[in-house]
Structure 1
Amino acid sequence: MGKHKWTYDDDVLACYIAKYGECREVTLKSISNAQGMTVGSLRMRIQNFKALAGKPGLSDWKALSEQVFQDFKNVGQDDHAGRCIALVCLK
């Protein structure tokens, strides 16, 4: 797999996993397959979101990730999950 160019939707998915963990439809593997990235790359991005939330993680996040974090920090789990399920299952 070549270098992945991260999109807003990719970060929405990574943000969800960082906040809530995997669910039946939204897993590291399903995201990786749907979005065309490696699981390792996704894991690193998830660590960026953990750091943005003040938890131990990777602190070298991108501006896009910070924007998604701000956009979704007050979005409830059900609404966030609905968006993620649509992104993963409609690909």
Structure 2
Amino acid sequence: MGVFRTSPIPSLLKDAGFMPLYVRRRSSMLRCWFRTHRLSDSVPCVSILRDSRSQVYVTRPSLPKPFGLRVANLMTDLSIAPTLV
């Protein structure tokens, strides 16, 4: 694109016609969740559901949250009914 190295990345993405990184990340998370959740008896789905039910992440917010819990929070933010069983 012929820009300086110090150009802000969000403006470069907009000029190039790409979505912002946080939107792409959210979209990828939701796509992965719905693909995995389609097969509810699969090993990845069972491990995602098991990890997201743990109360450890509620009582200790400094721990990195598991994928299932992050997706559930994202669904709540987007007003989508969470599909955690």
Compute the TM-score of the two structures, normalised by the length of structure 1.
0.30
Which has the higher Rg, Structure 1 or Structure 2?
2
Compute the TM-score of the two structures, normalised by the length of structure 2.
0.32
- Structure with larger RCO (C-alpha < 8 A, sep 6+): 1
